[in-house]
């Protein structure tokens, strides 16, 4: 039976009054062939490093890799759905892509509050992605958070 004390309505995000340094949320997804094809269709990025195995095999990656922004989109998922959650508005995102992600890899996005700016209704976040123990994305974001009022 679920512990009612730990229940959180996932349709309501945190308010700025609830935010504190160190709060963390995670989201993980295994990248599929369909994800890459659909991401290429939505983004228009049909670079053969993502789409063509023969071409990609001749590159430094020795095979196809997922779009970097496909992994980074999991950061957006974590921010928009978990921390701060619904109602949060992205203001900025800095990213560094550290290692390739391939079909079958499970990417875990982690978002951690590093600063809270109550007067401006903003939080700074450390945004990172891992495949297993290997960090594949490093970044930080600034997000506007709603108030209770």
Is residue 48 a part of any domain in this protein?
Answer: yes
* Contact assessment for residue 88 and residue 145, using Cβ atoms and an 8 Å cutoff: yes
Instruction: CATH number of the domain at 46, please.
Output: 3.10.129.10
| Residue position matching structure tokens 């949320």 | 25
Residue 7 forms part of a structural domain: no
Is residue 79 in some structural domain?
yes
Q: Phi/psi at 67 (nearest 5 deg)?
A: -60, 135
Report the domain count for the chain.
1
Residue 55 lies inside a defined structural domain of this protein: yes
Which tokens belong to 147? 């108030």
State the Cα–Cα distance between residues 109 and 55, nearest whole angstrom: 29
- Whether 30 is covered by a domain: the verdict is yes
**Assigned domain for 64 exists:** yes
For residues 137 and 126, what is the distance between their CA atoms, to the nearest angstrom? 11
101 within 8 A of 70, measured Cβ to Cβ = yes
Q: pLDDT tens, position by position, for the chain (149 residues)?
A: 445 555 556 677 999 999 999 999 999 999 999 999 999 999 999 999 999 999 999 999 999 999 999 999 999 999 999 999 999 999 999 999 999 999 999 999 999 999 999 999 999 999 999 999 999 999 999 999 999 87
Instruction: Supply the range of the domain harboring residue 130.
Output: 13-144
In a domain, 2, yes or no: no
Specify if 8 maps to a domain.
no
């Amino acid at each position: 039976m679920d512990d009612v004390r730990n229940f959180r309505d996932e349709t309501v995000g945190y308010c700025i009054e609830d935010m504190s340094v160190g709060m963390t949320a995670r989201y993980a997804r295994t990248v599929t062939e369909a994800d890459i094809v659909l991401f290429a269709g939505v983004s228009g990025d049909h670079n053969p490093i993502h789409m063509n195995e023969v071409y990609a095999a001749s590159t430094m990656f020795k095979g196809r890799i997922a779009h970097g922004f496909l992994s980074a989109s999991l950061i957006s998922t974590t921010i928009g759905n978990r921390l701060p959650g619904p109602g949060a508005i992205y203001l900025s995102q800095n990213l560094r892509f550290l290692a390739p992600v391939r079909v079958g890899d499970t990417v875990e996005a982690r978002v951690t509050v590093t600063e809270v700016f109550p007067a401006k209704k903003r939080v700074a976040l450390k945004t990172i992605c891992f495949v297993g123990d290997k960090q594949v994305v490093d970044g930080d974001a600034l997000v506007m958070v709603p108030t209770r009022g």
